[in-house]
Structure 1
């Protein structure tokens, strides 16, 4: 029963704590305690009775949430779910290495929250090896950090994902701007792009992934969109054609 599940909430921004508390209460979970700093979180971890932790990565504008994640995994032996507003380098080896049960983007909707919590508790009670899970049920948007501001983008507006050194460039059709996130193309595709969105994208060469709906023409080894032309290399051409519903 949900009412028997007690959750610790570690989040430094009051507006997000209140939002998550409301959603957890709506789902029937009990908030066993709240912490807004690393130190207060340690106190709660040592004194409260809880089944799971919702953990913000950027506590007080630092990634001390990752350090807490290590401690929860190694010392307290409890399942925990990371929550964060932005797509940044934190989604990578540092985060995955702490063995979280899931990762949620803010603002997490109630469906995402329920699925993540249920799966986390199930995996914890019946542990089995598995990859880091990026839970984004029914989430079709994300935020990009720009200085001290955050830009909301819709996955349906992303024309391409392009590799650039240790970054991935995302071209947004709605404002015709190319944004960057500090993550490789492979990790962006595997860990950041939601599962329900992956079928809308296809890799066309080693450095580019394109959203199928923007393709207007295939000409030889090129694909055209109204935003530009892209080269398709041999190893990817047949796969692309098989996805294009070509009628002869």
Structure 2
């Protein structure tokens, strides 16, 4: 599991410090803390791929507001954002809605409210990018943002970087994702996971297994090893798997 990486733009210094402190204590990684639109925009333009979630104060000092930053993110980047606000003026709220925030956080806030907002943002954003209509259904517990899975575990979304996956194993209508330190059971079939993991270092070795070639430590006959873990290579997939060894 990797830490979820958050950035914040908030021009009230005490509020920003309080929010950062709470988020760090909750296990999140703060990779940017900004007071102005210009600072935050520069960071987004150079570091968008490293951002999992942005918390944005709607009203910032200066010509450009948090809503303007949100519009930039919405138009050009692939991560969710939460609006942070202390008021509910109709004109501001209506303009904010047009940018499609994934959640709202109202000042003053408590840690429980922060966690709910973050989980809701990830879930709402995941629904939107997968075009998944969840009305009348149980919302799916797994989403992809950039190159990471966000997996619901013990009432909280955990981040699993795609590159950290050792292998995926089919288990009926579920898929077991194995990393070096943990395992995650996804409520999606292996076929769906194969369609998502299109990176060149993934290859199917068996109808029930998808491998990450970058983490393989040894192979022998029809077996692949990740240290002490063993994964089979079936006859139908053997040539494709070992040809991929040569290309990498």
TM-score normalized with structure 2 length: 0.48
TM-score normalized with structure 1 length: 0.48
